[in-house]
Amino acid sequence: MKDIENNDDLYLLVDEFYKKLLADTSIAYIFTEVVQIKLEEHLPILVTFWSQSLFNTGGYFKNLTNIHLDINEKEYLSPELFKIWLNHFNHSVDENFKGSNAEKIKTQALSIATVMQIKIHKQRNQN
Ligand code: HEM
């Protein structure tokens, strides 16, 4: 198995990842009902995001935490949902890639998810 080396690899990863998310009814409704994502627009944004994060390519300028706080206003993004999200993410990585970038992207996902959950918790305590 090879490591994540370029944007084609990232595209394959996010494609596999979203197949898992959308096939899992315990989380899919966030992407199909709460926010109605258009996959063909969404996946390239994810590639840009992860490319910036792994390869320092730049190009992603939005505030990712605020985007998720907005989703959380509509529907609570619970610790259970984060657990499901991270499980599918880690499995998608491990099923397709092996190496230092594969480890790095899983660590980054976990640390971003942790920050998001802290902010979500703060937001809930303010309301
Ligand atoms: C419970 C966990 C999560 C759920 C249910 C979730 C759901 C979503 C949804 C519905 C969108 C589309 C928002 C929109 O277009 O308005 C989105 C966007 C996105 N999410 Fe998440 N997310 C979760 C966690 C994460 C984590 C931990 C990361 C990163 C490590 C992440 C990365 C992204 C990125 C890069 C976008 C694209 C934002 C953009 O359009 O600029 N998500 N997420």
Q: How many domains does the chain have?
A: 1
pLDDT of res. 13:
98
Whether residue 92 lies inside any domain: the answer is: yes
Encode the chain (127 residues) as per-residue pLDDT tens digits: 999 999 999 999 999 999 999 999 999 999 999 999 999 999 999 999 999 999 999 999 999 999 999 999 999 999 999 999 999 999 999 999 999 999 999 999 999 999 999 999 998 787 6
* CB of 15 closer than 8 Å to CB of 46: no
62: three-class secondary structure by DSSP: coil
Q: What angle do helix axes 79-96 and 100-126 make, rounded to 10 degrees?
A: 170
**CATH number of the structural domain spanning residue 78:** 1.10.490.10
Query: Which residues form the domain of 73?
Result: 7-126
8: left (phi over 0), alpha (psi -120 to 50) or beta: alpha
Burial bucket for residue 58 (CB in 10 Å: 0-12, 13-18, 19+)? exposed
Whether residue 2 lies inside any domain: the answer is: no
For the Cβ of 110 lying below 6 angstroms from any atom of ligand 1, the answer is no
Whether residue 1 lies inside any domain: the answer is: no
Whether residue 20 lies inside any domain: the answer is: yes
How far away, in angstroms, is 63 Cα from ligand 1 center?
11
